[in-house]
Structure 1
Amino acid sequence: MRKVLIFKVLTVLAGVIFLFSGFKATSQSMGLRSKLGSNTITLSLSKNGELHYQVTRRDKIIISDSPLGLNCDDQNFTSGLSVVNVSPIEVRREKYDSKVGSFKTIDHVFERKSITFKNRSGALMIIDLVTGNEGVAFRYRFPDQDKKIRVINNEITGFQIEKNAKGWLQPYNKAGKYTPGYEDFYLKIHPGDSISNPRNPSVGWCMPALFQVNESKNWVLVAESGTDGSYPGCHLQPDSKGGLYKIAFAETDEKYTLPLGENNHPTSSLPWIMPWRVIIVGEQAGDILLSTLITDLAPASKIDDTSWIEPGKATWSWWSHPDDHSPEIYNQFTTLAASFGFSYTLFDAGWEKADKEGGIIAKATSQGVKPMVWGYSAAYFDPEKRKKRFKELAAMGVKGVKIDFWCSDRQEVMACLQSLFEDAAKEHLLVNLHGSTVPRGWHRTWPNFMTAEAVLGTESYFYEPRYPDKAAEQNTVLPFTRNVAGPTDYTPFALTIRKYPRLNTAVHELATAMIYTSGIIHFADSKEVFDSLPVPVRQLLKDMPASWDKTESIVAEPGEQLILSRQKDRLSYIVGINGTNKVVPVKLNLAKYAKGFSKFRVIMEGENPLMSFKTETYPIPSTWQYAFAPKGGFIIQFVNE
């Protein structure tokens, strides 16, 4: 008994010495390896107390030594740091169901560790580390209690990418009439390249940012998760000299019409928990596309009863009738939704007058179609006005809101969005954000957040002369970048030729509805186009789900081709798109995906590839060969008939 007591005393004394004697950490003690040993993040301190980290996968460098640290208005955490404590490793399981995405149920195990540092003044900063099979993440945390508002002047976090890597990055547009809105092309670059020929003047690079590293053996996506009202949405600085991409805050002038102040720096009292910096890693690009790491790290659902939240498909009149806000056109699209079994219809700008004149809300409800309505961000920024408006809309029978023109990543906007999701949930309203920032795991925390724009979608056939030529390529990049961040309102199926004529085939456009994930799929185009479709395509639109139980990546080559297997209940599909202007051979083992089915139906290009479809049904072979049309696509549905 005495020996045990002595041992306990010695253990306590050792802990005290560990905490207060200027503990010198080894790289091993400041590292964290995932359970299977694939991914490791390791922190290190220089002689000057400057903090760096490194990420490896199977001991191969993914992110080489990169800076960490924060410079605050009253304290500096960029140098003079020393280790105070390294916590034990904690194993945590994240299991949850997702209303939106490639998988219904997510079940992942992570290792977590927290390392506490102090600066020369004795102030504390904690860095939380996470590792899992899909990548690593870290975040800053101030544990002290203090009501005084602190300001972060600079975050020096960087991501050091090897100079021989390939990258797919989107310019972060400077503040303007419709920017920033994450609506630029993803450019194929090398680390260190400057921003070239963006759609709008730009001040940096967006996250998520995709790279192929380690002599093309690995893929990595740099992103954020869990951003809330305590921090602005961040992007990457424009200067990546030497391949070092550094964090940048939202710009001061990102205000649009919102009543924002002059300070664009993060502010908060203490304690202060900051967003996760997420580094998704895989051997194949498909590993990136299918990753749920961003939502795994986001807070769990704050809505207890989610039974009222239903993913679905919607008709939408704006794309085909942008200037017609009449009750007749809105009612026409409600009837169209009912005829296809779509759950929703979206009444865009001008709907209020149409409802007063023609009762479009009541007519939608009477046909069993749930109406969603458009709104302007400034009308939903004030908390009391927002709550009142949500109550009014819910009383009218509205089931969701599309709120447009945010054009800002400022901290005040991030805070507003979290409150907006919460206020909408109280009235059982779904949320669709447009002219907005990218999601950051929010659809886990607030499952009523169904989708967001933040994408160069099909409205670009009206506005962007370069879009037709680049659209197919972009459609095979965005699933590995933007859509990994969260649900994407791409507004697929835009067949009518607009100001800038489409070059993608009709099947390619149809396939995008099954390539992107969105809690509500807003289908573009007119009743006339829907009515002209052949019966198998009409049936596909009726059957097609808006969320998936299971997804597998078959071919995943950003900017080239993408083929996915998607399953929902008893529905099973293979969908593919070609991002190039070349004919590309395809060879698939269909038997692997056809269990329980006797035949498969293929939807492919018809006689006029731009506008028509052809469908054929075959017995399931062991191998299926096909030729992707230039900028083309195909959809396979497994059937028993």
Structure 2
Amino acid sequence: MKKMFVYRTLNLLLPAVFFVLTSCVAQNEELSLRSKDNFNKISLSLTKDGKLSYKVFRKDKTIIEDSPLGLVFENQDFSSGLVVENVSAVEEKREKYELKVANNKVADHVFKSKSVMFKNKQGTIMTIDLIAGEQGVAFRYRFADKEKEPRILKNELTGFHIEQKAKGWLQPYNKAGDYTPGYEDFYINVKPGDPISGARGESVGWCMPALFNVNNTQNWVLIAESGTDGSFPGCHLAPDSKDGIYSIAFAKNDEKFTLPLPDKGTAYPQSNLPWTMPWRVIMIGDKAGDILLSTMITDLAPASKITDTSWIETGKAAWSWWSHPEDFTPEMYKKFTDVSASFGFKYTLFDAGWEKANKDGKIIDHALSKGVKPLVWGYSSEYFDPEKRKKRFKELADMGVKGVKIDFWCSDRQEVMAALQSVFEDAAKEHLLVNLHGTTMPRGWHRTWPNFVTAEAILGTESYFYEPRFPEKAAEQNTVLPFTRNVAGPADYTPFALTFRKYTRLNTAAHELAMTMIYTSGIIHFADSEEVFASLSDDLKTLFKEMPATWDKTECIIGEPGKAIVLSRQKDNLNYIVGINGTNVSQPISIDLKKYAKGFSKFKIISEGKDPLMEFKVESFPVTSKWQYNLVPKGGFIIQFIK
């Protein structure tokens, strides 16, 4: 009888258990999304009390562990008590476009997308849009309803749970000050959970993009955001990463030292509905080079809002500030314009103090007479008020100015994000290029506004004036930034600085030269004196004349953040391989040059000369499939293939 009872009970229970299990599986699949190649997956889940979380997988191995999602408004709570209201069908979308400034001129990627609607206890709907592609996954919060009164967001629960044994490269987010936040700190090698240490100043969080090597070093992850507009502040990561969870943090109210921003007590995001928030982007790669070449940030940004982009030209520029920071005479500005003209550079940059020199010496007229396009410096507060900004842009365009370098933004507040979008738009109406300095991290804006050609937000060459630790750390940083900062957008590092400044450079001259082709920037501003340019050999002068400012095709041959980077770069019929060593020890490398030299029989290599800090050596060799080379400590090289 007992056996019969057990048998009958099992017969009754098994269908119920099977139903529960299959229902859970069905719901998990319903709340998940895979990329078309099936490699990358994002999966949402709800606890019994309606708390929302997500996980990210690559090839079914966990990349981002269970991480929180949710929003808390002043009058609405989406942190718990959520239920699934609706799940859309999976759609396939293709993003194919060209970038003015890029590692690869054409981006062409297919994404799967899905939207999941959740209802909170108050009966209000929150939608989460999911995206999955071959380069990673992303999600964003969206509210489709219409409301006249603005909603104020007090907390975003979004976190990124990184395994404890992962290795990270993160930049501290500096506390507000005269020149901060400006994304000009060192990228620090950390483990998840580590507190902030070694920052250049007091810091209140970590910057995005944030790079991690996860899954027993088998995968690379870059956490970033895209599509930030005037409806949201720029975000960073909170300083406390307990248990490896890095949480979204908003810009601070006190980020207002350089701009006429009100003291609101708080700087919470606020907007009327409908409200579409920025993408939270998780780029994934099997190699660090996959991250370097990723275009997910621009893939998710709005398409170009400029119909005719024919007037937007990338190029190179000479500028006087780095070598002559105290000389604002017309003669000095003209001298550097002449440097640009002699090298065939499209541009010359007139930095701070140019207005007086132009009044006395007509430096803009001089540039135009030489066929060189003038770029001019300005202070951010001059471009913050809409009417003053439009008037100023028109004045500059009427003078013959072709671009503006606008300095000292030093804030991620929502008002600043809105102002930047208007800067790009108003500048475009006058056919002006934009270069931002002392500024926030780009967030895909160079796709939406192609006249946004470069930005600082990087600890660049000027640090030889200001940062005593820079000479020792520069080489390492130079091999981290291409996998972090430069993935977010064009970077104005102002490379090629041979003249010694306050803190003596330790990188070789060949390393500094290679930096001009390691970073991607719509305008390369070369940092050194006219005497240094004049002293270059004919081979070096030819390189400077021919060197592109953007690329048709790039491959990452060696990508080891903090150690070494070697890139293959192509533009039209120009073909280069460029590399640098980020360490204090020699690194032997081996490359199949024939793979990258189709149509070329020889190559020219520029490397260290007798005095590695100041001199170059140029040699020519036949192309070989087994080229071996020894990267000297903090050294570099450039290979140019020749017919």
Offset from partner CA, 1:432-490 (integer Å, 9 cap, x none): 00000010000000000000000000000000000000000000000000000000000
Q: How many residues end up aligned between the 2 structures?
A: 619
Alignment pair present for 1:82 and 2:83 = yes
Aligned to 1:133: 134
| Conserved? CA contact 1:29–1:86, under 8 Å | yes
Aligned to 1:146: 147
**Equivalent in 391, 415, 421 of residue 418 of structure 1:** 421
| Conserved? CA contact 2:603–2:623, under 8 Å | yes
Measure how far apart 1:259 and its partner are: 2.1
| Conserved? CA contact 1:169–1:209, under 8 Å | yes
Tell me which amino acid in the other structure corresponds to 2:177.
G
CA distance in 2: counterparts of 1:218 and 1:95, whole angstroms = 26
CA distance in 2: counterparts of 1:25 and 1:150, whole angstroms = 34
Alignment pair present for 1:546 and 2:549 = yes
1:27-38 to 2 correspondence within 5 Å? 27-38=28-39
- Residues 387, 214 of structure 1: alpha-carbon distance in 2 compared, 3 angstrom cutoff: same
Aligned to 1:105: 106
Tell me which amino acid in the other structure corresponds to 1:184.
D
Question: Aligned to 1:28, what secondary structure does the other structure show?
Answer: helix
Offset from partner CA, 1:28-54 (integer Å, 9 cap, x none): 100000001010000000001000000
CA distance in 2: counterparts of 1:472 and 1:257, whole angstroms = 31
1:60-71 to 2 correspondence within 5 Å? 60-71=61-72
Alignment pair present for 1:525 and 2:497 = no
Tell me which amino acid in the other structure corresponds to 2:217.
S
Offset from partner CA, 1:265-303 (integer Å, 9 cap, x none): 100000000000000000000000000000000000000
| Conserved? CA contact 1:458–1:491, under 8 Å | yes
1:489-504 to 2 correspondence within 5 Å? 489-504=492-507
CA distance in 1: counterparts of 2:541 and 2:299, whole angstroms = 36
Aligned to 2:203: 202
Question: Aligned to 2:89, what secondary structure does the other structure show?
Answer: coil
| Conserved? CA contact 1:210–1:220, under 8 Å | yes
Question: Aligned to 2:633, what secondary structure does the other structure show?
Answer: coil
Aligned to 1:234: 235
Alignment pair present for 1:192 and 2:196 = no
Structure 1 length-normalised TM: 0.96
- Residues 599, 306 of structure 1: alpha-carbon distance in 2 compared, 3 angstrom cutoff: same
CA distance in 2: counterparts of 1:453 and 1:226, whole angstroms = 19
CA distance in 2: counterparts of 1:217 and 1:604, whole angstroms = 33
Aligned to 2:449: 446
| Conserved? CA contact 1:344–1:371, under 8 Å | yes
Tell me which amino acid in the other structure corresponds to 1:319.
W
CA distance in 1: counterparts of 2:86 and 2:517, whole angstroms = 48
CA distance in 1: counterparts of 2:26 and 2:238, whole angstroms = 31
Q: Once superposed, what is the RMSD of the aligned Cα atoms?
A: 1.0
| Conserved? CA contact 1:24–1:83, under 8 Å | no
Structure 1: gaps (5+ residues) = 1-21
Alignment pair present for 1:286 and 2:289 = yes
Offset from partner CA, 1:531-584 (integer Å, 9 cap, x none): 111111111111000000000010000000000000000000000000001011
Aligned to 1:336: 339
| Conserved? CA contact 1:25–1:83, under 8 Å | no
Alignment pair present for 1:392 and 2:391 = no
| Conserved? CA contact 1:207–1:236, under 8 Å | yes
CA distance in 2: counterparts of 1:131 and 1:369, whole angstroms = 45
Aligned to 1:478: 481
Offset from partner CA, 1:126-155 (integer Å, 9 cap, x none): 000000000000000011011111100000
CA distance in 2: counterparts of 1:197 and 1:637, whole angstroms = 39
Aligned to 1:269: 272
Alignment pair present for 1:577 and 2:580 = yes
Q: Matched residues, percent identical? A: 70
| Conserved? CA contact 1:585–1:625, under 8 Å | yes
CA distance in 1: counterparts of 2:149 and 2:130, whole angstroms = 27
CA distance in 2: counterparts of 1:244 and 1:104, whole angstroms = 35
1:229-628 to 2 correspondence within 5 Å? 229-261=230-262, 262=264, 263-628=266-631
Structure 2: gaps (5+ residues) = 1-22
Question: Aligned to 2:540, what secondary structure does the other structure show?
Answer: helix
Structure 2 length-normalised TM: 0.96
Aligned to 2:18: none
CA distance in 2: counterparts of 1:597 and 1:307, whole angstroms = 32
Aligned to 2:167: 166
CA distance in 2: counterparts of 1:25 and 1:268, whole angstroms = 36
Measure how far apart 1:23 and its partner are: 12
